[in-house]
Structure 1
Amino acid sequence: MSIQKAFLLLTTVLGLIFAPHSFAQEHPSLILTKAGVEKIRANLGKTPLFDASLEKVKQQVDAEIALGIDTPIPKDFSGGYTHYRHKLNFVIAQKAGVLYQILQDDKYAIYVRDMLLQYEAMYKNLPVHPQERSYARGKLFWQCLNDSNWLVYMSQAYDTIYNFLTAEQRQKLENNLFRPFANFISLENPAFYNRIHNHSTWGNAAVGMIGLVMNDEELIQRALYGIEDDGLPVGGVDNDGGTIKVKGQKKGFLANLEDPFSPDGYYTEGPYYQRYAMYPFLIFALAMENTRPELKVLQHKNNVLLKGVNALLNLTDADGNFFPLNDGQKGMSYYTASLVTAVNIAYYYGGKNPQLLSIAQKQNQVLLDQSGLAVAIAIREGKAQPYVKQSINLSDGINGQQGGVGILRYGNEDLTLVFKYAAQGLSHGHYDKLSFSYYQKGNEVLQDYGLVRFVNIGQKGGGNYLKENATWAKSTIAHNTLSQNQQMHFGGKYAVASQHHSELYFYDDSNADVQVVSATESNAYPGSKMHRTMALIKDEHFEQAYLLDIMKVDSNSKNEYDLPFYYMGQVISTNFEYQTPTNLQPLGDKNGYQHLYLEGKGKAAANNTQFSWLGNGKYFTLTAITQPSDQILLTRIGANDPEFNLRRDAGFMLRRSNSDNTTFVSIVEAHGSYSPVSELSLNSSSNIKSASLLYDTDQYTAVEVIDIKGNQQVFILSNQNADKSKQHKVTIGGKTYRWQGPYYYQ
């Protein structure tokens, strides 16, 4: 018998003999508290948003109670009926328990009790889930991750009806369902449980939550600190291509709070997965705050969880949709239930920031607990203030020293640049150093593709990640960044990419009209260094702010460079000639190129190449400083995609061949508008007459922009010294420029 199995057997036997029950422990105590419930009851009928949220939940739960309880034998992937039913069960059970506490109606406790006993009867003999895709198969679901979701919610449900149950019922549930369930997702699945990943966060929280309800110290310690000796080999790989265990790896809930979060609250997997992980992070931390406040889990790492809520809200566009960095599904927003939880908890426990109330107003619902009540009361009292998103630089990495994400906003989110120079982002990371996306209000101008997955749509691979996520979405060419010799950054190797991160050169948003972020990458391609600087500039001679993009490449060999821009809209005009093929062919055969159709090919125009498109009723023009030998490639996603898993989005690509050290300069203008109702087209042409690279050395790069009325703008970048106090002097074309700091603009 293995050590792991022996330990599991021992803990199970001890649990049966010495199952720790502390009948003096107060219930509920995890999220709802006795005092909190009394305050909620006292305010019923007096707080409109809370009352409306309560009524909505009551209608949903009452409808499910009327249908009866169904706990089918598991068989489906996500998207199938059994998956959906068990997921809905845990959501409804948690809500029913809350209704029991608030309304004191026994029918809700009876519903939860009967459901839990039905699961107890099933679970005792339930085998591992029949679907074999996951590296850690669950029992109720195809992966332990979803089993952990179930236990996080059911722990809350159990806590709310704990005193309604008899001692015999509690013993049956704990010995036959909850403790075996917790042991299964942890001791029997250490590859899932003992790692730094959002999966493990859910597992840790699940074990900890049920441990708190049962007052089981061993489970609580296992949740906080992981399994001490898990017997796992170093270097195992999961289905996402991520390493399951690395030498000396920390584990447990506190380790998952430490490593993935930067001091700014940015979560290294990106906002889509931060949104998903914030629920177990906050719920378990809150449960610890209510039951073990002396451990200060909610305040761990200088309140990083509460900072994480602010970071998440800043990682959204003007419509509240999260920027799709790494594996991110477009359309996920702060209207999701996990962000309702985050906003309510952050308000109540994080200093009662009145700006959070305006987000809660937009969400139009609150939690049915003391934090949700506090939010609803504050809104009733007119304390809400607008949540104003400013430009922000969010560091990545445990100490904030592994790159980051710079977000430059002009006006009231009229234009927003998202510049990614972060670490790999664990197994959900993409190979796209120094990439960017660009927004006008809530509309994409230049997009980040996001993930290739139809979440919970069974017809599309069981709702799971599709193979094109690896062959396209993670590839470098899928993003608005530089590709060298048609290769992916780090060779597309996770183990290599995880060892490196880009470096911030400087970030400056002190001048609202000239905001700049600059970063370097020296490891994506051995022997080559990329230095990208992006400036959001509002000049009085331009209708709107424009984006200046300088990509400087230094290499010890001659290479072919591709710089794509994935624009959203329809082509309006170009100033270069191109040919369109009669038969579409892929641009390449690997590293994402196999998924790009070549729709047009031409030579760059002399000095400046211009490309204009119309998207969402607005005009945009990209002006690139080009060389006569540069090629222009017009592409469209969708080649080698027989199941139509990819969107058919278009791209504009600059290709420069046989170059070692070179500099790409591009300017993106937003201008004019078109109304299909009035059929009125305004200011549809670029305001740029010419753009030129005035000066380009190891020390300085200078770009000149001249508008159609002859006005000149000059931007000079100090390439080697970003010290704010450094004095610079450079003479260009007989004119001497002097300034202090990393850049000059006039």
Structure 2
Amino acid sequence: MRPHLSILALLVLFGLSPLQSFGLSSRHPCLTLTAEDAALIRENLGKYPLFDAAYQAAVTRVETALKNPIDVPQPKDAAGYTHERHKRNYLEMHAAGFLYQVTGDARYSAFVKAQLDRYAELYPTLGRHPAANKQAYGRIFWQSLNETVWLVHVAQAYDCVYDTLAPADRGRYEKNIFRPMADFLVNTQIEEFDRIHNHGTWTATAVGMIGYVMGDEKLVRQALRGSKMDGEFGYLRQIDLLFSPDGFYCEGPYYARYALMPFFLFAQVIDNNQPEMKIFEYRGGLLGKALDATLQQSWTGGAFLPINDALKEKTYHTAEMVLGVNLTYARLGHDARLLSIAREQGTVSLGAAGLEVARAIAIATGPLPAYPLHSVELSDGPDGKSGGLALLRFGPNPAKDSLAALKYTAFGMEHGHYDKLQFIYYDNGREIIPDYGAARYLNVDQKFGGRYLPENKTYAKQTVAHNTLVVDETTQYGGSYATAENEHADRHYFDAGDPDFQVASARDTAAYPGVAMQRTTAMVRDARLDYPIVVDVLRAVSGKKHRYDLPFHYEGTFLAINAELARNTTALAPLGKKHGYQHLWLEGSGETSGPVRFTWMNGSRFYTLHAAAGASTRLLFTLAGANDPNFNLRPERALILRRDAAEGGTVFTSVIEPHGDWNGTTEVTYGGTPVIEEVRVLAATDEGTVIRVTGKNKLALTLMFSNRTGDDAQAAHTLVAGEETFTWKGNAAIRR
């Protein structure tokens, strides 16, 4: 982590002497919209289609609300009517405040006032929300996080209509709503406020925004520097500690998407009020890097890689990412490549940045440059030294590209999963080797109030739910969050300079005490193959005997396997009793001492998993859903390669080969059988691993990977295997 900044250093950063006041402005609006912004928008309505569409959507929302009675219900549920009604209220107030500033129509300001009148009556009567669970509770909502989102939106509405309100009304709203809510967030929920976490970011942003509106310097200072105003917590500390220098957000892209909204919103507020802080330049323009890193962690349709607690429905089309794209373009260099993302998103944010993006798209001549989604390694940790995430891509079309991801990050706080050296693979616009993501149905009241389901802990977080090594049928770190949060895997090397041979390698020695793991993943393109293949080598070294399970969760239809299986067609039993195994039905099993070749079909393409011969390997085909009385788990299948290995450890070497095409419309199929015929491990030592892939059309690939500690692109390696001697320079090499 970065060294703590002293109070004096922080004051210098703010451009303040110890006694100098912030000098907060008394003008309104002063948050995300200024009077100048409103005038600019008013002058340009009807000129730029993307902005006009977003503007009209706001008009429709508010005009519909004006036709219906205001409803500010007594809070009752976690994801039912009252929860959704209060969400609609803050969205409607936010839109109405904006429309008032642009149009001057008093109906809009009156609507905001009428809502605030009702909340001024309700809020003083509220205690702990009746549906509160173990999370930090709220009053209007079941958790205080939702309360902060409410305040972020309503603070902007209040700011926009501030000058239309009588002093007595402002006094009542601040006495009955805003000050007690800020006090609740800063003091009652201080553990959330002083927390390096997306909850802390939202809370600091909410408190800071209402502080700016009310001209409350203390609230603004607390938002920026934590409850004690000493710089240990607060908004700036969140930027320092939650992102790596590459912009990777520690909880993964799903929560990066969510956290970027308060980060960007409050940056805009700070920049509008205290431009001397140069907040968009902080940590070398970190917010722009964070947006790019989050975009890089997306695949077909803008969906984010579902690592850690993630829902697969979220994409970069969400409002949070729209805001981030717009503000990054407007305030961090006008990168024209962002315009292609904005056009794909199909909307812009309501503000000056959204208008600027819409104008740039409207006046562009010729095609917009594509945003470069490319092979990249993203470091984790504030100093970039807590592992990372490697993304290997091949192909010119992000909708169809091959994408292999190797995850060796830190745990990711309480939303992290026990999945060190996890592997995920996409191809042809589809999930091929997927990650389960989170067990949750967001805002579906029938599913545990929309909260994380119990199976999120008992299955989705467990190691066996991921495509990584499980030792002795136990979860990494023994399933201990306290242990996992203080550990991370380590990068070994990454090289994507040759698009036809891209390699990433990582190590871990802490997930299973006494077991050292190294995983090397390569994407290889060869003219004799239909598509790029993925080569995967996972080496485990230990001085003791262990059972090693390597799951490959797969999407698609089982076609064939070159082994005899005993299939459980009349009765199923769970594979185990704990560590996620209790949720896996064992559908079939077999054993082989030779190479494994498993083929399945996904969409229009065939896939074959080739696993090298080794010690006796047991094949376990599983289906998620055992011990799941409420049918919470998705019925996803996996092939688990199981080995009981003596002292020394084992090496799992696999190749995933996409091949052929199936067209159900024309009834034409080709390439249904793989080109690759054999994968062999020629050597696996502390010096390196050498494997050979052979097949039809005289295919012969020899791949050599360094197992030495450290990244050394100039190191010379020599390895003798039988009568062959292999020499290469650098971390990895290929002979065709």
User: Which category of TM-score, normalised to the shorter sequence, fits these structures?
Assistant: over 0.9
CA distance in 2, matches of 1:62, 1:152: 22
Q: Provide the aligned length of Structure 1 versus Structure 2.
A: 707
Deviation of the 1:627 alpha carbon: 2.6
Give the match for residue 188 of structure 2. 188
Corresponding letter in the other structure for 1:359: I
Corresponding letter in the other structure for 1:35: E
Contact 1:396–1:422 (8 Å) recurs in 2: yes
> CA separation of 1:110/1:745 partners in 2, compared to 1, >3 Å: closer, same or farther?
same
Deviation of the 1:368 alpha carbon: 1.6
Q: Provide the secondary structure at the position in 2 that maps to 1:324.
A: coil
Q: How does 1:206-605 map to 2 (within 5 A)?
A: 206-228=206-228, 250-382=232-364, 384-412=368-396, 413=398, 414-581=401-568, 582-604=570-592
**Is 1:667 aligned with 2:658?**
no
Give the match for residue 613 of structure 1. 600
Give the match for residue 629 of structure 1. 616
Q: Provide the secondary structure at the position in 2 that maps to 1:654.
A: strand
Corresponding letter in the other structure for 2:100: Y
> CA separation of 1:40/1:683 partners in 2, compared to 1, >3 Å: closer, same or farther?
same
Contact 2:704–2:728 (8 Å) recurs in 1: no
Contact 2:687–2:717 (8 Å) recurs in 1: no
Contact 1:698–1:720 (8 Å) recurs in 2: yes
Corresponding letter in the other structure for 2:734: Y
Q: Provide the secondary structure at the position in 2 that maps to 1:406.
A: strand
CA distance in 1, matches of 2:417, 2:433: 17
Corresponding letter in the other structure for 1:442: G
RMSD across aligned C-alpha pairs, in angstroms?
A: 1.7
Deviation of the 1:250 alpha carbon: 3.5
CA distance in 2, matches of 1:551, 1:135: 38
CA distance in 2, matches of 1:136, 1:491: 27
**Is 1:724 aligned with 2:706?**
no
Corresponding letter in the other structure for 1:342: G
Gaps of 5+ in 2: 1-20
The more displaced of 88-97 and 588-597 is 88-97
Give the match for residue 738 of structure 1. 727
Corresponding letter in the other structure for 1:682: Y
Corresponding letter in the other structure for 1:98: F
CA distance in 2, matches of 1:735, 1:574: 32
Task: Deviation per CA, 1:53-105: give whole Å up to 9, x if none.
Answer: 1112111111112112110010111x211100001111111111111111221
Deviation of the 1:607 alpha carbon: 3.0
> CA separation of 1:131/1:632 partners in 2, compared to 1, >3 Å: closer, same or farther?
same
**Is 1:645 aligned with 2:627?**
no
CA distance in 2, matches of 1:583, 1:275: 43
CA distance in 2, matches of 1:295, 1:311: 24
> CA separation of 1:508/1:642 partners in 2, compared to 1, >3 Å: closer, same or farther?
same
CA distance in 1, matches of 2:542, 2:324: 45
Residue of structure 2 aligned with 1:694, choices 655, 666, 682? 682
CA distance in 1, matches of 2:688, 2:301: 39
CA distance in 1, matches of 2:23, 2:67: 35
Deviation of the 1:628 alpha carbon: 5.1
CA distance in 1, matches of 2:390, 2:203: 32
The more displaced of 203-212 and 97-106 is 97-106
Task: Deviation per CA, 1:152-184: give whole Å up to 9, x if none.
Answer: 111111111111112221122112211111111
Give the match for residue 31 of structure 1. 32
After TM superposition, the score normalised by the length of structure 2 is 0.94
Contact 1:416–1:441 (8 Å) recurs in 2: no
Contact 1:694–1:704 (8 Å) recurs in 2: yes
Q: Provide the secondary structure at the position in 2 that maps to 1:646.
A: coil
**Is 1:45 aligned with 2:52?**
no
CA distance in 2, matches of 1:369, 1:728: 58
Q: Provide the secondary structure at the position in 1 that maps to 2:73.
A: coil
Contact 1:266–1:395 (8 Å) recurs in 2: yes
Corresponding letter in the other structure for 1:677: T
Contact 2:24–2:212 (8 Å) recurs in 1: no
The more displaced of 375-384 and 526-535 is 375-384
CA distance in 1, matches of 2:733, 2:304: 33
Give the match for residue 80 of structure 2. 80
CA distance in 2, matches of 1:497, 1:334: 29
CA distance in 1, matches of 2:484, 2:640: 25
Contact 2:514–2:543 (8 Å) recurs in 1: yes
CA distance in 2, matches of 1:250, 1:405: 28
CA distance in 1, matches of 2:429, 2:279: 36
CA distance in 1, matches of 2:25, 2:270: 18
The more displaced of 691-700 and 498-507 is 691-700
Contact 2:440–2:451 (8 Å) recurs in 1: yes
Q: Provide the secondary structure at the position in 2 that maps to 1:150.
A: helix
Give the match for residue 245 of structure 1. none
Deviation of the 1:224 alpha carbon: 1.2
Contact 1:269–1:429 (8 Å) recurs in 2: yes
CA distance in 2, matches of 1:691, 1:621: 12
After TM superposition, the score normalised by the length of structure 1 is 0.93
> CA separation of 1:411/1:312 partners in 2, compared to 1, >3 Å: closer, same or farther?
same
CA distance in 1, matches of 2:696, 2:25: 79
Contact 1:265–1:309 (8 Å) recurs in 2: yes
> CA separation of 1:628/1:405 partners in 2, compared to 1, >3 Å: closer, same or farther?
closer
Give the match for residue 5 of structure 2. none
**Is 1:58 aligned with 2:96?**
no
Q: Provide the secondary structure at the position in 2 that maps to 1:299.
A: helix
Contact 2:388–2:407 (8 Å) recurs in 1: yes
Q: Provide the secondary structure at the position in 2 that maps to 1:67.
A: coil
Residue of structure 2 aligned with 1:711, choices 694, 699, 706? 699
CA distance in 2, matches of 1:129, 1:106: 34
Give the match for residue 97 of structure 1. 97
The more displaced of 689-698 and 289-298 is 289-298
The more displaced of 206-215 and 385-394 is 385-394
> CA separation of 1:526/1:23 partners in 2, compared to 1, >3 Å: closer, same or farther?
closer
Contact 2:390–2:504 (8 Å) recurs in 1: yes
The more displaced of 97-106 and 291-300 is 291-300
**Is 1:143 aligned with 2:125?**
no
Contact 2:574–2:584 (8 Å) recurs in 1: yes
Contact 1:603–1:628 (8 Å) recurs in 2: no
Deviation of the 1:709 alpha carbon: 2.9
Give the match for residue 680 of structure 1. 668
> CA separation of 1:439/1:23 partners in 2, compared to 1, >3 Å: closer, same or farther?
closer
Q: Provide the secondary structure at the position in 2 that maps to 1:705.
A: strand
CA distance in 1, matches of 2:405, 2:24: 53
Give the match for residue 8 of structure 2. none
Contact 1:433–1:481 (8 Å) recurs in 2: yes
Contact 1:446–1:568 (8 Å) recurs in 2: yes
Corresponding letter in the other structure for 1:404: G
CA distance in 1, matches of 2:169, 2:94: 18
